[in-house]
Structure 1
């Protein structure tokens, strides 16, 4: 151990905790010594650490002095430090202290390790301090939800600070092997870019719903946005056999399960819901759907009181315990805010930003369902645009892809289920639109036979098109 005068820790709240858990004076001594020995490390230390990260008061004081000299363009050595501050706050001579540090520093080459230890111990101390504050606030009678929410935000911040900053960036030479390996595996079809939607005409625009991406599916009530979102989740779980988590704040888990039974088994949802109207022809399809869904990694949460904090916590739990490949949220406008005094605009803005961060953190795609405002109803063609998203423009800003579900219920084509899927934003591909068939009775979308799309002229003329626009056979989805 270095022969460095120790501070009196008799009044410290940390005296009963092992030194290795909450502070390492040895690492602090060596860090300051390395900065003085090798001045080009000062800027790096300043970017990683703050004065508050040091437990030893003398080390914190010397760190401040060294950064101050550096910022003024002064040389940093024993002489300049002692000239700037002859004596430390505890009365020790700066010459004696700095001389010991420089003399006893093992090696400046280990600077990164010294900095890592100092930072991690600092985060550990603040975790304990935060826990004590939360405990006291609960004792004082503050609401549990409010204390937990602020505590989680503090923990996420501390967790990020504890990471090695070198892991937050990479040189392209280190990324290239991973990128080329991905190209090779996709070329050999041993891997795909992301999850497909099950609708080839839509996949022409979106070659894959990729990890870290946020895909917004928006529409007016009854347009089929839930059908599309749940359909993609079903495909991830059934076809890819990957865990898909669906948050439903509008429908119960039983209602969503009934829709999956109808979609997968080609049984009319009305028959499943009523029960008494089930026919002899329905039972084989229902049995088949049960067998397929029984072992499918499709997970449903129907808690209507969810906040962003709840969603984040559930996603992390599911990923840790079961794995997680896909998340769908129905829908963002129903997620509760954690700050009751915030406006709905501010709340949805924060939720949208949080979902984007969550997608990147967990490396999963998140399909976010959203409502449209009444803007499209005032237009002659009633076609929506991404600017019609309700509550906050941040939803559009955070989305990698925006899909607008549009069906004109007044036209014959619309009455026949012909639905336009408008890809109005696509960071990684083209925009455009395609038409698919909404099979409402089975709660699913399918491709139109032969791509027999109605022209704008036919739609405007309102010709009887219900027999022309038919979807695939009912048994072709899975």
Structure 2
């Protein structure tokens, strides 16, 4: 019988793949040495790199220590060279750990020109950012493997995006001062635009005559807070503005370089209403068709045809709605960056601020602090994107306790730094809302005539306030405060200009 015995097992027979070659983090010690040599031989080289290069950016800890010593001495107004560094390190006893006197002398002999110092500094900084990217990538992988119950995958993504954004900010080496001449040139450009338009508007027009007269439009990098009590029409107001802007154009150039009119782009973050609900509201306002009839399908054939034609026209507008709930500042920032890259961006609207969440993994001590971080984040986005940001905000109930219920800055709910961060604070107020709820009853001592007189007075007050809204500017960093009256059609949730003496509102 044939022997089928299993041969002895030899580990060496198994092919072994040791995986990819182990790589060390990116660094360049020679560049670090050359830069330190430039600083030690001529301290003016430090001026070219001090704005962006820190000791932590060096890969070699000894080089980081030496650069820190140079920085300390130069900022004290002292000379930093091999001799002064020798005394500096001798006093704290770690000279030998850094290579001793001979290494400092060797560094100083590695002379490069001051011009090269800036480029060497950027190389060192870039390599540091690359090392941080590697660490962040490993952290993302490890966190994804841990399946942390307190953080969902989406929250982990947003946390990683926030850290990546901070790293991107660290990666900037071209910051610093803007010359007054350059700043003046930009300022004159905005003045020139306003002069050419001839309407006193240098920012993004709201589409409402009196609002633009008071504000001059919504200006780039401004944070505009729009606050009101419930049922005042905050969402209706900003949807009207979003629609007005989306149907506007601005001068630009096509791919061939010809001057053309470019449609304006609006980013609308709706944290309270779904995208289709918001779209229905805009459609109702644009088509001047009651929204409740649209919802219930009680339109006539003519009304339906009109709404259909209006919807076709609206579908061409660059109005983008994001109804993600519990949106965070990092999440919003990434979305508007992507939108600006793909479709352009002229204004951001957030409905509303208190429905946003803090940064994932953040540990704010209170909701007030968290809301303050959100308002600061929105202001940062306005500056980064260079567009106005309109954020809706709730007001506290204390307005209801006053005889005059017009809101004030102190009424901002969970205000924290909202008032401080805002460039413009706008309040909406409708006297009609409160008067309608003050209908008098007949008292025990009221005669019939007295009661009817009270009813007549109430009706007269209600008629005077009907279909009117007040937009109150409580703060404007670069302009006057004041108020304007607007026409409000509740049936279509539409704000428009009040009629001038010789004309009626557009909705009549």
If the TM-score is normalised by the length of the shorter chain, which range does it land in? Answer: 0.7 to 0.9
1:336 maps to which of 352, 357, 362:
357
Shift of 1:105: 2.4
1:270 maps to which of 266, 276, 292:
292
Which has the higher mean CA deviation after the structures are superposed, 147-156 or 169-178? Answer: 147-156
* 8 Å CA contact retained: 1:214, 1:365: yes
1:261 aligns with 2:311: no
- Counterparts of 1:119-134 in structure 2 under 5 Å? 119-134=125-140
1:382 aligns with 2:405: yes
Deviations 1:364-389 (A, max 9, x none): 11111111111222222211112211
Equivalent-residue separation in structure 2 for 1:70 and 1:239 (angstroms): 55
Compared CA separation, residues 391 and 69, structure 1 to 2 (3 A): closer
* 8 Å CA contact retained: 2:126, 2:171: yes
Partner of 1:105: 111
1:78 aligns with 2:82: yes
Partner of 1:8: none
Equivalent-residue separation in structure 2 for 1:450 and 1:202 (angstroms): 14
Partner of 1:472: 505
Partner secondary structure for residue 214 of structure 2: coil
- Counterparts of 1:311-322 in structure 2 under 5 Å? 311-322=332-343
Equivalent-residue separation in structure 2 for 1:216 and 1:72 (angstroms): 44
Equivalent-residue separation in structure 2 for 1:124 and 1:28 (angstroms): 16
Compared CA separation, residues 172 and 313, structure 1 to 2 (3 A): same
Larger Cα Rg: Structure 1 or Structure 2? 2
Shift of 1:91: 7.2
* 8 Å CA contact retained: 1:267, 1:285: no
Which has the higher mean CA deviation after the structures are superposed, 108-117 or 46-55? Answer: 46-55
Equivalent-residue separation in structure 1 for 2:284 and 2:429 (angstroms): 22
Partner of 1:365: 388
Partner of 1:29: 33
* 8 Å CA contact retained: 1:447, 1:471: no
* 8 Å CA contact retained: 1:211, 1:365: yes
Shift of 1:229: 0.7
* 8 Å CA contact retained: 2:371, 2:416: no
Which has the higher mean CA deviation after the structures are superposed, 425-434 or 339-348? Answer: 339-348
Q: Report the TM-score, using the length of structure 2 for normalisation.
A: 0.80
1:221 aligns with 2:221: no
Equivalent-residue separation in structure 2 for 1:349 and 1:301 (angstroms): 22
Partner of 1:199: 208
Equivalent-residue separation in structure 2 for 1:386 and 1:91 (angstroms): 58
Runs of 4 or more above 6 Å deviation: none
Partner of 1:439: 489
* 8 Å CA contact retained: 1:58, 1:88: no
Equivalent-residue separation in structure 1 for 2:370 and 2:115 (angstroms): 48
Partner secondary structure for residue 225 of structure 2: strand
Shift of 1:362: 0.9
Deviations 1:125-145 (A, max 9, x none): 112112212322332332235
Equivalent-residue separation in structure 2 for 1:248 and 1:218 (angstroms): 16
Partner of 2:265: 243
Partner of 2:329: 308
Shift of 1:151: 2.9
1:16 aligns with 2:48: no
Shift of 1:363: 1.0
Equivalent-residue separation in structure 2 for 1:471 and 1:224 (angstroms): 21
Partner secondary structure for residue 267 of structure 2: strand
Which has the higher mean CA deviation after the structures are superposed, 206-215 or 140-149? Answer: 140-149
* 8 Å CA contact retained: 2:333, 2:381: yes
Which has the higher mean CA deviation after the structures are superposed, 82-91 or 337-346? Answer: 82-91
Aligned length: 440
Shift of 1:416: 2.1
Partner of 1:465: none
Shift of 1:242: 1.0
Equivalent-residue separation in structure 1 for 2:392 and 2:122 (angstroms): 42
* 8 Å CA contact retained: 2:236, 2:494: yes
* 8 Å CA contact retained: 2:469, 2:487: yes
Partner of 2:441: none
1:325 aligns with 2:355: no
* 8 Å CA contact retained: 2:419, 2:425: yes
Structure 1 portions without partners, runs of 5+: 1-12, 453-469
1:118 aligns with 2:141: no
* 8 Å CA contact retained: 1:29, 1:105: no
Shift of 1:231: 0.9
* 8 Å CA contact retained: 1:248, 1:302: yes
Shift of 1:251: 1.2
Compared CA separation, residues 216 and 313, structure 1 to 2 (3 A): same
Shift of 1:392: 1.9
Partner of 1:152: 161
1:299 aligns with 2:328: no
Equivalent-residue separation in structure 1 for 2:364 and 2:72 (angstroms): 42
Structure 2 portions without partners, runs of 5+: 1-19, 250-262, 436-460
Shift of 1:407: 0.7
Equivalent-residue separation in structure 2 for 1:418 and 1:346 (angstroms): 36
Equivalent-residue separation in structure 2 for 1:14 and 1:432 (angstroms): 69
* 8 Å CA contact retained: 1:210, 1:364: yes
* 8 Å CA contact retained: 1:243, 1:324: yes
* 8 Å CA contact retained: 2:221, 2:388: yes
Shift of 1:157: 2.2
Equivalent-residue separation in structure 1 for 2:70 and 2:351 (angstroms): 54
Deviations 1:220-252 (A, max 9, x none): 111111111111111111123211011111111
Shift of 1:356: 0.6
Which has the higher mean CA deviation after the structures are superposed, 23-32 or 421-430? Answer: 23-32
Equivalent-residue separation in structure 2 for 1:99 and 1:82 (angstroms): 10
